[in-house]
Structure 1
Amino acid sequence: MDVDPRLYEQIAVNDTDVHNIIMSYLVHNCFKETVESFIACTGMKQPSDYLEDMEKRKRIYQFALEGNALKAIELTEQLATNLLEKNKDLHFDLLSLHFVELVCSRKCTEALEFAQMKLTPFGKEQKYVEKLEDFMALLAYEEPEKSPMFHLLSLEYRQHVAESLNRAILAHGNHPTYTAMERLIQQTTVVRQCLNQEHAKDGPLPFSLKDFLKS
């Protein structure tokens, strides 16, 4: 069974808490104009410490999403000194984005030279060897988009790297790496799973955000 909405719709929720949840989501995702409009409409106090870096984070995120990884790296080093030096996994992922862009542009010689200079040194650590092999294998295909490693060329992969970079920058500035909204959904999911396991058939179904939004 599922939880009847009538059982909780009378529970009062503080408007300030709701506003903070929304603000957290907007700031995390760099929706600066929407943040400013939301502040104007609700009268909330402007989170100046967040807003100062929001536009910079947005530019970095956009460059990574577009595959312009070298620019994203340059701006990241300006905003969060030593971040990539301390986070080798993220640094590798960003460099790999640039390699992929060179491959997609059919600049194979340049891609190979870049890989030898920037990516190959990572091969000294075993955990990067398989990744390196996957990226280098792209060079063997005239149409890398049709290779078994085509997912490395996808928008989804760039989004994954861009989001990881955004979270890392937030953590570097001692800001939450996940929005309050994400945490609420995660906690709700875990609670519903526990209740479902504890009460078996009589317990609530596992939480589904899609189903919840339809209710």
Structure 2
Amino acid sequence: MDVDPSNYNQLAINENDTHSVVLSYLVHNCYIETVESFVASTGMKQPADCIDDMEKRKRIYHCAVEGNALKAIELTEQLANDLLEKNKDLHFDLLSLHFVELVCSRKCTEALEFAQTNLTPFGKVEKYVEKLEDFMALLAYEEPEKSPMFHLLSKDYRQQVADSLNRAILAHSNLPSYTAMERLIQQTTAVKQFISEDNAKNGSQPFSLKDFLSS
């Protein structure tokens, strides 16, 4: 029997399913010690090669976030040797991170040489032209941190690239690139929006995920 979406709050949730959702999130984000503690406390079976995989992905992630993009590229090629060859967008983003680090270190000559050798070839493809221009424009400023492209120097941008890299590595290994928790939130949002639209006829407020999570 189909369940009325408005009654989803009354459904019982299996504890093992909840544990699986939590474990998926922890493994995805490489929380190694927490995974080990969680598995031990819940009695769940740890996926094969789980720890080794997390250690490798965590190292790559931190290299990207901490500005060592070339090392992240090297480690990625060792773990998934054809990933960056197939994913040009991600390869460009990682090379750009190294360019940014050179600019931030005021190694402008080295940055220009690196760009000419490694980034300029991407300019043959239309979708990279604007991004390439933004990165190259950083060289025109004595204080690139105060330029209109300052966001390219931010930790948030490095984390964005690192997250994309982590998802790509997981997908390359035929593993989910998004956690079960993320997919559940997406599904919950879709269901709640459907109910909200149906109830809007009675004057109910539109669904807000932010309000829902804080309620």
TM-score of the aligned structures, taking structure 2 as reference length: 0.92
2-side partners of 1:166 and 1:110: how far apart? 28
Contact 1:171 1:177 in 2 (8 A): yes
2-side partners of 1:38 and 1:206: how far apart? 33
Unmatched segments (≥5 aa) in structure 1: 1-6
Residue 4 of structure 1: aligned partner = none
Residue 183 of structure 1: aligned partner = 183
Contact 1:168 1:177 in 2 (8 A): yes
1-side partners of 2:10 and 2:94: how far apart? 48
Residue 4 of structure 2: aligned partner = none
Correspondence 1:161-200 to 2 at 5 A: 161-200=161-200
Deviation at 1:193, TM superposition (A): 1.7
Contact 2:61 2:166 in 1 (8 A): yes
User: How many corresponding residue pairs?
Assistant: 208
> 1:155-193 CA deviation, whole Å, 9 max, x = no partner?
111010000000000000000000010111111111122
Moved segments of 4+, more than 4 Å: 7-10
1-side partners of 2:165 and 2:138: how far apart? 24
Correspondence 1:69-148 to 2 at 5 A: 69-148=69-148
Contact 2:197 2:206 in 1 (8 A): no
1-side partners of 2:205 and 2:192: how far apart? 7
8 and 88 in structure 1: CA distance in 2 versus 1, 3 angstrom threshold: closer
Paired residue secondary structure (1:176)? coil
1-side partners of 2:213 and 2:171: how far apart? 30
The residue type equivalent to 1:30 in the other structure is C
Query: Bigger shift: 193-202 or 59-68?
Result: 193-202
Residue 47 of structure 1: aligned partner = 47
Q: RCO higher in 1 or 2 (8 Å CA, sep ≥ 6)?
A: 1
The residue type equivalent to 1:191 in the other structure is V
Contact 2:200 2:206 in 1 (8 A): no
Contact 1:195 1:204 in 2 (8 A): no
Q: How large is the Cα RMSD of the aligned pairs?
A: 1.5
2-side partners of 1:147 and 1:61: how far apart? 27
> 1:119-176 CA deviation, whole Å, 9 max, x = no partner?
0000010110111100000000000000000010011110100000000000000000
112 and 64 in structure 1: CA distance in 2 versus 1, 3 angstrom threshold: same
The residue type equivalent to 1:173 in the other structure is S
Deviation at 1:201, TM superposition (A): 4.1
111 and 188 in structure 1: CA distance in 2 versus 1, 3 angstrom threshold: same
24 and 10 in structure 1: CA distance in 2 versus 1, 3 angstrom threshold: same
86 and 78 in structure 1: CA distance in 2 versus 1, 3 angstrom threshold: same
Percentage of matched positions with identical amino acids? 75
Contact 2:27 2:54 in 1 (8 A): yes
Contact 1:167 1:178 in 2 (8 A): yes
Contact 2:57 2:166 in 1 (8 A): yes
Contact 1:192 1:205 in 2 (8 A): no
The residue type equivalent to 1:81 in the other structure is N
Contact 1:102 1:111 in 2 (8 A): yes
